[in-house]
Each structure stands twice: as structure tokens, then as C-alpha cells.
Structure 1
Amino acid sequence: MTQQQRATARRDEIIRAAAAEFDEVGYAAASLSSIAARLNRTKGAMSYHFSSKGSLAHEVAQYHYNQWEKLAPAIHADGFTGLEAMMVLSFVVAARFRDDVLVRAGIRLQQDAGLTDVELPPPFVWWIKTTRDLLAEGQRTGQIAAAVDIDAAAEVLVEAFTGVQQVAHRMTGARDIHERIERYWLQFLPGLGVPDGRDLVARLGAAAAEY
């Protein structure tokens, strides 16, 4: 391993330790000392890579945003469009929320009222826009009913999905989040003009495992 590779690996290790701390205690309660303790290092040993807690929070949040911006086009490129693309995306997001502390920390940071010294994109704006765009595509292609108010539907779907994540995390450590997302869609699909979505939910939930 080259010196550059070792430096990159150490940097990634620090970011992941920071994510674990943010996920568990939130931004305000986290400190550089507590993050360093997770790595059995001193705070000074981390200063070469990160000079502040805020810079670490920015990196964690950036990881969170970057992967969704890449994932949505990949799903679309595989032939999933409109509502189906939205559903696959939701299952993938749920699985990563369950399995990846960087995702959980990124979500917690964007909702953390104590995070005032780090400039981050406004929470939920990208998700609402993406959901609306996919619903509009689904409406154009007949996947959802023409009468659906897609602006209102996009906001409600994002709001409810956020609630599903938080309830799953607090109650079961998100172990059952896939099943919760299945129920989420079975409740909402009739309102989008899909009266019996059981086969659709099963098929797209399985397809999400490929991402």
C-alpha cells in the first residue's frame, strides 16, 4: 500500500468513526475527542485530515448526498421508470439506511437542529424534487392515475418515508425496514391509482437487491 493509499484509508476510517458518533449521539453531543476515542487515537492525530467537527460533518453529509445522485440515474438506466423507479429507489435507500452508518448519520445530520456551523443543502428538497419528477414520469406513461396531484403526493411520500426510517431505527434497529417499506407502498399505491400492488411491491423489492 502506498503512502497515498494509507492516507486515504485513514481518512475514510476517520469519516466512518465520525458517522458512528453522529448517528449515536447527534452532532451537538459529538466531539473530536470522542470520535478519536473510537479509533484509539488522539484528537491531534486526526488534525492532519480534519481540523474540526464541522468539516467531518460536511464529509459525512456529502457522502450521503453523492450516492443518491448517482443511484437514481443508474436505476433509470436499467429500465425502471416513473413509479417503478421510485419504488426501487425507496427499497435501496431503506437497505442502505439499515446497513450503512454513513447513510444513517447523513440523514441525522440533515435533520439536526444543533448543526448550525456547517453549511449543508436544505433537507428533503432534493428528495421531494426527485420524487415529483418520477411521479410525473409515471403519470405521463400511465403508471399512476392522471388525477393524482403529484406535487402533494411527492411531499407526502417523502414525509411518510422519513417517518418509516425513524420508527424502524428506534424500534428495531431498522432490521425490519424492508417489510415496513412494503407496507408503506401497499398503503399508498391505491391513492396513486394502483388498486392491487402486491405483485408490483414484491417484484420491485426483489429488484432493489441488485443495487
Structure 2
Amino acid sequence: MVKQERALRTREALITSAATVFDREGFSVASLTAISSLAGVSNGALHFHFSSKATLADSVEEAAGERLDRIVMAHEGAAGNALQLLVNTSHGLARGLTEDVVLRAGFELSRDQVRGRGPGLYRQWHRWVEEVLKRADGEGVLAEVTPEDAAASVVAATTGFEVLGPQNPEWLSHRTVTRFWQLLLPRLADASVLGTLVAAGSRPEGRP
């Protein structure tokens, strides 16, 4: 049991270290030596857990996907309707991308064409956004737009913030995401609920 726990801690440390190095240097340039050194383990220990840089990157992206799931689940049931849920979760995603290097690296790896894996996390996010907008439509809180068209706009903007954020953190700030929703909600929300929606997120201190 002790050995299993130690192995799990080592694996988690390697994933975090890999995310840090991938985030800083990019997948192509990152070296396994730099990753193992940052994790405080030998190259042999790294290869015990991961056969190659590609499999390590896959594990980082998988861990990022789990973090994205947790962000989504943290907001389920805490909003009055599906549109407010979407607003709150987008704020949570922006904050996660700012604070969590594994989540940030996972998105970066998802768009790395060298790996040739395809946009895994982007697809995961798009699928969830579209599902929530279909729920909003079913609740009668969506204006005369299709969930598919609305999802395309939301995903394009939020993933754009993710791409621009590393160069300028203002793109992932609470203010930027709030202003985005202030612009978009009048187009998305039915007039009967527009006045009840909080573009800044419906939890206190701007931490939806």
C-alpha cells in the first residue's frame, strides 16, 4: 500500500511537472530530463511511469479533462437556470486556466498539431456548452437562437480567451469574461429572464 501511494504521488508529480514544462516551453521543445528534474525524480523513474513524452502528454491532457469535468460539476445545481450555469462555469474555466497549469497545458496540448491528437479538450468543452444551451432552450430561457449557433459563439469566444490569455492575462480576467456576457446575454436570453441573469457570475466576490 505504501509503495502504491508513493508511486501515485510520483506519477502526479510528473504530470504536474510535465504540464509546467509544456506550458513554459511547448511540447516539441520540452525535454524529459527537464520534466524529471523538476519533479525531483530520475529519468528511470519517469520511464517507469511513462514510456515516452507523447504518453506523458496524453496523461497531462487526460488530467486536464478531469479538471474541466470538476469545474463543470462544481457549478451544477448552483444556478437558477441553464444560462446562469453557463455564465458561472465560464468564469470558473477562466479562473482555472489562470491558476491551474495542468488545465492550461491540457488545452495547449489539445491544439498542438505536432502531436496530431485532435482538439480533445475543445471538443469536450463544446459538447458541454451545447448541451447546456439545449437545456436552456428546454427551460424556455433561450431567445430565438438555436443552441448550436449559440454554442458556436460561446465556444469561439471562450477558447479565444484561452489562447490569448498566456500573452495577456487580462483576456482571462473576471472583468473580460463579465463584459463578454454583458454583450452576449441580451442576444441569448429570453426577455423574461434577462433581468435576473448576472453576467459577473451569481456567486459572491466574482468567484462563480
TM-score, normalised to structure 1's length?
0.84
Contact 1:61–1:106 (8 Å) recurs in 2: yes
> Is residue 88 of structure 2 the alignment partner of residue 88 of structure 1?
yes
**Residue equivalent to 2:142:** 144
Counterpart AA for 2:88: V
> Is residue 38 of structure 2 the alignment partner of residue 42 of structure 1?
no
Change (3 A) 1:79 1:152: closer
Q: RMSD across aligned C-alpha pairs, in angstroms? A: 2.7
Larger mean Cα displacement after TM superposition, 103-112 or 157-166 = 157-166
SS of 1:170's partner is coil
Change (3 A) 1:19 1:203: closer
Cα deviation, residue 55, structure 1: 1.3
For 1:73 and 1:41, the matched residues in 2 are separated by 34
For 2:172 and 2:106, the matched residues in 1 are separated by 20
For 1:37 and 1:198, the matched residues in 2 are separated by 51
Counterpart AA for 2:110: Q
For 2:79 and 2:69, the matched residues in 1 are separated by 17
- 1:24-35 matches, within 5 Å, as 24-35=24-35
For 2:205 and 2:76, the matched residues in 1 are separated by 13
**Residue equivalent to 1:11:** 11
Cα deviations by residue, 1:76-110 (Å, 9 ceiling, x for unpaired): 23454311111111111111111010000001000
Cα deviations by residue, 1:52-83 (Å, 9 ceiling, x for unpaired): 11111111111111233344345223454311
Cα deviations by residue, 1:99-136 (Å, 9 ceiling, x for unpaired): 010000001000111113xx566452222221122112
For 1:63 and 1:123, the matched residues in 2 are separated by 11
Contact 1:88–1:207 (8 Å) recurs in 2: no
TM-score, normalised to structure 2's length?
0.85
Cα deviations by residue, 1:14-57 (Å, 9 ceiling, x for unpaired): 11000001111211111212212323543223222222111111
> Is residue 178 of structure 2 the alignment partner of residue 182 of structure 1?
yes
**Residue equivalent to 2:57:** 57
Q: How much identity, in percent, do the aligned residues show? A: 27
- 1:119-158 matches, within 5 Å, as 119=117, 122-145=120-143, 147-158=144-155
For 2:206 and 2:102, the matched residues in 1 are separated by 19
Counterpart AA for 2:174: H
Larger mean Cα displacement after TM superposition, 1-10 or 97-106 = 1-10
**Structure 1 residues without counterparts, runs of 5 or longer:** none
Cα deviation, residue 191, structure 1: 1.5
Change (3 A) 1:163 1:121: closer
